[in-house]
Every structure is written in structure tokens, then in C-alpha cells.
Amino acid sequence: MTSYYMDRYLKNQTFYKIQSQSIIDNPDQRIVDDISSFTGTSLAFSLTLFNAAVDLISFSNILYGIYPPLFVVLLVYSIGGTAISVLLGRL
């Protein structure tokens, strides 16, 4: 990803235009830092979603094995609570 953006940065004399204007300090370092931050944050977010999905599946199986009607009630409750939160968040 870094090489892709650095190639685009050096293409069509973009680098020289930015350097000649002296508006941005160390633009190449900023590109590298932003890409590093983006990939780190994306990886952490993906792992969090994966962990939540695994937890949901695991605990749903355990709860369903203990008492299936309670599983259905809690599923409806959680979906309803999420829907209400989304609707209130849009107000």
C-alpha cells in the first residue's frame, strides 16, 4: 500500500509541485505515517469484529443448549434494543 501511494505521489511531478510551494512539511513522511495508522486501525477494527462474531456464536450455542426459549427472548430483546438505539441516534 505504501509503495502504491508513493508511486502516485511521485507521478506527474506531484512531488516537485508540493516541494516548490513549501506549504506542507515532509509530505512523504506524512503519507507513510497516515498509511501506517490506517492499516493499524483497520486491522484492530477487523479483529474486534471477528472477536465479537466468535463470542456471539459461542455464547449463543451455550445459551441455546441451556434453555432455548430464553435464547429466543434475548435475541428479540437485543435486536429490538439495537433498533431503538439506532432510531434514537438518528434524532
What's the mean pLDDT when you consider all of the chain? 89
The predicted-structure confidence for 22-56, as pLDDT tens digits, reads as follows 777 887 788 888 999 999 999 999 999 999 999 99
- Greatest Cα pair distance in the chain: 70
Q: Give the residue with greater pLDDT, 14 vs 64.
A: 64
Number of domains in the chain: 1
pLDDT interval class at 74 (50, 70, 90): very high
What is the span of the domain harbouring residue 52? 2-89
What is the Cβ-side half-sphere exposure of residue 82, based on CA atoms within 13 angstroms? Answer: 6
The set of cell numbers assigned to 6 is: 508513493
Residue 2 clears pLDDT 90, i.e. is over it = no
Q: Three-state DSSP class for 2? A: helix
